[in-house]
Amino acid sequence: MKIFRSVLSLMLVLVATVLVSCGSPQVSAPPTYTPEKLQVIKTYRIPVDVARDKMNTLGEFIRNEDWVNVKSFIHGPLGFLRRDFRYLSDALLPDDKAEATELAKDIFTRLENIDVAAEEKDYKVAKAQFNQALDDFEAYIELIPEA
C-alpha cells in the first residue's frame, strides 16, 4: 500500500508537470479604440471642449480682478466639469485613463486655488494658477483620441 501511494504521488507530479509545461500563455492584442468607443469619447468630449472655451472668460475675470465673477464662474459654468472629466476619463484606455485622471485632479486643484485666491483678492496667485490650469487642460485634451 505504501508503494502504491508513492507511485501515485509520483504519477500525479509527472502529470502536473507535463500539463503545466505544455500549456502556452494566451497572447492578446493590445487594447485599441473601437469605432463605438471613439463615438462615446466624442460625445463625452463636447462639454469638456465647451468648458475649455469658457476658461478664456475666467481669464478675463481674473485679469479684471472681478473676484465675485471669478468665484461665480468657477462654481457656475465650470461646476459640472468634474463630472464631465470623470465620464471622459472613464471612456479612455487604461493607460490613458490613469494620466487623464491625474491631470483632471491637477486642474481641479488649480481651480480650487483660484477660488481661494479670489476670496483673498490675490491677483498673482490667481493668475499663476490660471496659467497652470490652462497648461493642464491642454495636456488633458492632447490625451483624448480624435474620433
Here the CATH number for the domain that contains residue 84 is 1.20.120.290
Asked if the structure places residue 52 within a domain, the reply is yes
Which domain range does residue 125 map to? 35-143
3-state DSSP percent of the chain in helix, strand and coil, to 5: 80, 0, 20
Residue 84 confidence (pLDDT): 93
Residue 15 confidence (pLDDT): 65
Residue-wise burial string across 4-21, b where 16 or more C-beta atoms lie within 10 A, e elsewhere: eeeeeeeeeeeeeeeeee
Condensed to tens digits (0 to 9), the pLDDT of residues 49-86 reads 999 999 999 999 999 999 999 999 999 999 899 999 99
The answer to whether 111 and 125 are in contact (CB under 8 A) is no
Q: Is the pLDDT of residue 48 over 80?
A: yes
pLDDT band at residue 125 under the 50/70/90 scheme: very high
Q: Is the pLDDT of residue 122 over 80?
A: yes
Mean pLDDT of 87-97: 92
Asked if the structure places residue 16 within a domain, the reply is no
Asked if the structure places residue 17 within a domain, the reply is no
d(CA 9, CA 1): 12
